[in-house]
Structure 1
């Protein structure tokens, strides 16, 4: 039979022209490979073609299911956008709320993909970490922190159970395997098609190790892989494999691992050379991520040591985070998130053209706004494109790993040298946390008292268990504290470890963890208090919070059953309690289309609803906590990165100039946003006769002026406290309250006036950086300082150049600027060196500080250090 006849036969069976050609090409390629290997026979050809046909049939079933899931998610999101418009807001507001959340005041404004990802991840790792802490009464977790060989044993036990004889390693391997299987099952329920693999472990690939040595390094990697891989399993489905064919295929795997592309996430971001056009199917890509199968556990461990990074816990957390990212996208936007999003945007364009209530000018303006928000393709532009890039993980995958590593290390060094005193600025967390309590129903005095008390409260009586079930006490183990202040998480392991030590030694780690855990526990109890009330019986602030997170009355009726009494006698709302909900509890949430569905279909949907309640509840608690303890989220990072990737000129530029700006940007987005200063819910505004006003106008007329006034006064008080602490550790007197500049500077120190507030009256911002450093980033400021010293040397100003060079070296030296070490170093060494370089410099420094800031030293250095150096 000729090829065209084969194609016609396949088309007659129901395939399209393109599908028929692809199928025939696959079958002919299999026949050619059998012929080349000398194994072509009717029996072998029949077996190969039968297996291919069965695989294609299965894929058709999977694809039909994905199409149905995509349509359901599309309709859900379209209905949500319509509801946002009905509340007086724009379609773009709805899309932002759907993707990264928005601070405007409408139902579902915070029920985003971004929040869901965080909720899923915390829902997975919180119970997992609790189980890990229980293994060996805590001994296993200690070994995981200290012993590489213990990590190796866990790795081997996951691959080959019982191979090491280490009971603790075996127990942890079972925990890890169980959570990996849980995430796989939930991804498949959302539309993925990931097969179960016995003895599988997550594997990180270090692109820097892979690329070391250039072309020789690539050949070295292939030579390393050949004797260790199970070639038949690795390249299953491509026909018979000989050595030459295996090496050819491994070259393709090598490219995938080194070009900075994540095969688990949507979109082809290689910048060219791809045959893929249009948005890729995320669910389809999920089944293609496990490509390397080793012959045994020892071979897999050897590969991890040679070309991997981190340890088995690092690999687990990274894998679960990527799974959470993918699951959140698919649960909200379907198996093909980008396609759903593009379809929603097209729908809004058409709706605008058909809207008879708008003028042609307004239609044109809104249509242009939507068009500018998203431009698909290799180079994406617009706000929606930037949000999608953050959600998909595109902005974390390096194009040029070497350039990305250099940039990450340089930024990490700035973190190590600049943020040693950040814990002193963190004192302002207390009043921001109190403001969040005020919005959610507390009085200002009560909120302030509880906010401060949370830093000193104990976690006995079952409180720690409740807090962990709500996602608290995870940051230290994950090492996420670095990401709170800056985007330097891409630095190599040693630098990242140093950053963790810096924040732990400075006290920022403790302050942040206690603040987050305290607020999370308070919010859990705050919701637990009203577990006995229906939605209409809730007070307005609590009802408003639930509405922002998309909780409707019928959903609350089920959620309020997710509360339990702890050992301290108090009732707490906990996401993990969703596991105890019965099918009868969940039946009211079944979609109408499934009320009469077969029992097995209903059972699957009820399981999905149970998971949804758990994930959404955890997302709500985590998102509200991030309003109280400010951290950058995807919306913040989208502004900071502008959709760029590390390892590109644009990507490194934006990451450099945006370093240390995450806090003020997040502060303006969350704390200064409209929702923070409007108490009550939308229904309350309706009762005040504001039904027909746009959302923004209703907010203006129901604004919480008492809360806003309390916030301003608190910001001044805590700003002054932070400023005073900084002055004291520098040996300076507190600023006089008699000067109006002190009051304004105090307000600015709290972060209340945004990124520019720190510089209106002061020389440096809350992190100790100059205006130039904040404007162009610390790396740009450092480049300017180097240039200035170079100019001094050219002009022959050697004394000034030496003094400025010393100051520059000190200000950029890691760990020197810890708030409690800098003063000791100044008195023991640096003051003396400065006097030796330029006699009288300490006295000049004191006069300058008196003139510019109206301050004096508590212990003037010139009084104790003689001119030219040495103590008097």
Structure 2
């Protein structure tokens, strides 16, 4: 038999050129040829000499095609990066021109700014939130709006299995409807459609993620995996997996076990088993998010039943929880790429270096000031680095999962005993915050206040109103909490405490209140867009145009948004929602892409020029359509967060300082800031906007031009705080209301309203917004409770404890003991008798003290059974 000639270098080049259409450049061809020897050695060892040339040529063709695709993707991502960099540089220049220093300008890209500068509210944090609202809110609208009864059966095990079976049938050759469960079919299709939107959105921003046929979401419970151990977990999951789909066509049980060991390590610790370049002392640039998305391991089960069994053994929650978490993870990554491109960390580091150079070249700065600003532009150990950790979720990744869960359980226990009356402070003050937000954007304080109250009286929205709220990303947090909050492992104290905390906020009405107020605020903002839709940009009220500009909505974009087809609710109120802003005819978006399309057309050559221009036009219109949709989504989300405070990216960064759960520093910060989310968010957002968010070229002009807003906000919160004080006094059995002219009452009302922040709590009040003591305010309620219990234990051990000390410690730390609708009855029926029994005369001394300090008396019976 004649000896076969080896494949020559020329043949390799010919094969590579043939498969790529002669589109590889010289460097790319050399990459192919450099792989020839490696591939030949591998194939020769596997197959011997027979057929080596044909197999080698086929392998080289595949390698060349892969390199061509990779090169095309790199060129596309390079173009995306250039576009993002140009936009970011312009935004930094705008921020600096508005009076920010360069570190503040870069920080604003991550978490936004309260300064009234154009684009000041456009940030990665805001974009991530708007993507979350879009992907999760759209999903909720798709699944629950037409079938509200599903909210009552989401925990049904049969329904969950049927949904998984239907999702596994959504593939070529599948049989949708196999379960005969119409609800399961509806949910599966909704889940698949919104997961597909997340995938396509990531791909548009630089990833290359293939469509997963027959896919269903999965949650792994790290605690359960740790309890089982690596080997037991692998033994349990391996028979349930489709090895070929999960690990490749050449996968064997042995290679799968190796891969699963690495996955186990990643799930339980967040650290890869194999040492990375940094661990080995090698240089490695920050990895691209877009590339990581492509290589994340997706485990495919042999069928829905196998996945469902695994979920019960090593997961938590249900398929609804898994889907929501999938969408939120996708939103976090897509939002980062949307602002910073395929490699956010590299982009941020590059921006920091550019700003350092600008500072060093600035002759107007004195050396000490320059050095201070340059140091603040370091990525590690700076506010910017902490903000990036918060944005990417690093602070939420536990270093020690067991410790993090137990410490979280301790904080939950504190909530059970301290936050039973949180709703009482919120009821009179939250509508004031919403009215102030409406006033800031020019809609009027009293007009917004009455609309907010009307929404409260209407209750949970239904029909088209619910659809508007869901599409805006609001009004379903209570349902989310029901799906996620009670789904974690419940086989130990930590899990039960988590479930009880969710129940506490539900039973006192806080969940209902939160959903109704935020849904109403979202509808108000959407209605304000429709209300002004008949006005061109130059005719808009100045305040409304100012707030649009803060969120990056320009005159060109407004002219597009205002032509949206409006939704009408049952009462005839018109709304502009994000989906409608993104559903206009293609020509509507042409003004946004005209310049770019013209530049592309001028560069085009060849006989297929018109085809290429048409393709470029379609792509640019799709991008513009999505940009306008997300602008509306972000605008509504940001305004709702001013109307009904929640911690934003900046508030979380201020609270956690870049620390991670399960570390000493991280848990200390979480204990200290526990219960302070409202105060931090209020101080940063409400006060920051009031003092610096108005229109003007300088800080002074922005503050001076906003004095009416500052005065109205202060007066409104003063009245709301006084109402909260009065409500709490009534619930405690005290009457009449405190003297509103007393300076002590005024300061206490400011504290209750949130206007004095943490300093007011510490200096002027005995109790804070949630009824905590001065020690709680200084060190956190959990630490305060632990301190009180420790003191009582020490007194008991030394024989110095009094019965009253023990009783007070038990009452102050008893779960559910201070829930607002039950505490007074508990006092009258039980606690007053116990107090009088252990310390005779207690009730009389309390009444005398109350009369002296507040000029109040108890209007409920104070008699006891121990007379």
Same structural fold, with TM-score higher than 0.5 when normalized by the shorter chain: yes
Are 1:100 and 2:99 an aligned pair?
Answer: no
CA distance in 1 between counterparts of 2:259 and 2:86 reads: 41
- Contact 1:157 1:164 (C-alpha < 8 Å) held by counterparts: yes
Aligned-partner SS, 2:317: coil
CA distance in 2 between counterparts of 1:257 and 1:750 reads: 43
Superposed CA offset, 1:176-222 (max 9, x none)? 11111111011100001111111011211111011114xxx210011
- Contact 2:320 2:483 (C-alpha < 8 Å) held by counterparts: no
State the 1:831 CA deviation: 2.4
**2:101 is matched with which residue?**
90
1:554 to 534, 553, 556: 556
State the 1:140 CA deviation: 3.3
1:535 to 530, 537, 546: 537
Is the alpha carbon distance of 1:325 and 1:565 closer, same or farther for their aligned partners in structure 2, counting shifts above 3 Å? closer
**2:847 is matched with which residue?**
846
State the 1:38 CA deviation: 13
CA distance in 2 between counterparts of 1:831 and 1:208 reads: 43
**2:322 is matched with which residue?**
315
CA distance in 1 between counterparts of 2:41 and 2:210 reads: 25
CA distance in 2 between counterparts of 1:481 and 1:223 reads: 30
Q: Which runs of 5+ in 1 are unaligned?
A: 376-380, 484-489, 683-693
State the 1:578 CA deviation: 2.2
- Contact 2:582 2:628 (C-alpha < 8 Å) held by counterparts: no
CA distance in 2 between counterparts of 1:423 and 1:38 reads: 78
2:244 to 222, 232, 241: 232
**1:401 is matched with which residue?**
401
**1:501 is matched with which residue?**
503
State the 1:416 CA deviation: 2.2
**1:421 is matched with which residue?**
421
CA distance in 1 between counterparts of 2:232 and 2:725 reads: 56
CA distance in 1 between counterparts of 2:644 and 2:686 reads: 10
Is the alpha carbon distance of 1:468 and 1:252 closer, same or farther for their aligned partners in structure 2, counting shifts above 3 Å? closer
Are 1:67 and 2:78 an aligned pair?
Answer: yes
**1:466 is matched with which residue?**
468
State the 1:346 CA deviation: 0.9
Is the alpha carbon distance of 1:307 and 1:545 closer, same or farther for their aligned partners in structure 2, counting shifts above 3 Å? same
**2:157 is matched with which residue?**
148
Alignment of 1:507-522 (within 5 A): 507-522=509-524
- Count of residue pairs the alignment pairs up: 822
Superposed CA offset, 1:779-823 (max 9, x none)? 21122112211231243223x2x4323322332222222101112
TM-score (norm 2): 0.88
Q: Which runs of 5+ in 2 are unaligned?
A: 17-23, 170-175, 486-491, 602-612
State the 1:480 CA deviation: 8.6
Superposed CA offset, 1:312-356 (max 9, x none)? 111111111111111111111000001111111111111222234
Alignment of 1:680-759 (within 5 A): 681-682=695-696, 695-702=698-705, 704-733=706-735, 734-737=737-740, 739-759=742-762
State the 1:231 CA deviation: 1.9
- Contact 2:114 2:689 (C-alpha < 8 Å) held by counterparts: yes
State the 1:530 CA deviation: 1.5
State the 1:461 CA deviation: 8.7
**1:383 is matched with which residue?**
383
Is the alpha carbon distance of 1:415 and 1:440 closer, same or farther for their aligned partners in structure 2, counting shifts above 3 Å? same
Is the alpha carbon distance of 1:601 and 1:768 closer, same or farther for their aligned partners in structure 2, counting shifts above 3 Å? same
Aligned-partner SS, 1:195: coil
Superposed CA offset, 1:73-101 (max 9, x none)? 11110111112222332223322322111
Is the alpha carbon distance of 1:96 and 1:502 closer, same or farther for their aligned partners in structure 2, counting shifts above 3 Å? same
Aligned-partner SS, 2:377: helix
Is the alpha carbon distance of 1:545 and 1:841 closer, same or farther for their aligned partners in structure 2, counting shifts above 3 Å? same
- Contact 2:406 2:494 (C-alpha < 8 Å) held by counterparts: no
Is the alpha carbon distance of 1:727 and 1:56 closer, same or farther for their aligned partners in structure 2, counting shifts above 3 Å? same
Q: Which has the higher mean CA deviation after the structures are superposed, 751-760 or 510-519?
A: 510-519
Superposed CA offset, 1:585-621 (max 9, x none)? 0011016233344111221221121112112211111
CA distance in 2 between counterparts of 1:762 and 1:70 reads: 52
- Contact 1:101 1:114 (C-alpha < 8 Å) held by counterparts: yes
**1:185 is matched with which residue?**
200
Alignment of 1:186-265 (within 5 A): 186-213=201-228, 217-236=229-248, 240-260=250-270
Is the alpha carbon distance of 1:148 and 1:722 closer, same or farther for their aligned partners in structure 2, counting shifts above 3 Å? same
**1:124 is matched with which residue?**
135
Are 1:298 and 2:305 an aligned pair?
Answer: yes
CA distance in 2 between counterparts of 1:16 and 1:600 reads: 28
- Contact 2:277 2:283 (C-alpha < 8 Å) held by counterparts: no
CA distance in 2 between counterparts of 1:395 and 1:270 reads: 23
- Contact 1:99 1:388 (C-alpha < 8 Å) held by counterparts: yes
How large is the RMSD of aligned CA atoms in angstroms? 3.3
**2:168 is matched with which residue?**
159
CA distance in 2 between counterparts of 1:470 and 1:819 reads: 32
1:578 to 576, 581, 590: 581
TM-score (norm 1): 0.87
2:353 to 320, 336, 346: 346
State the 1:558 CA deviation: 1.0
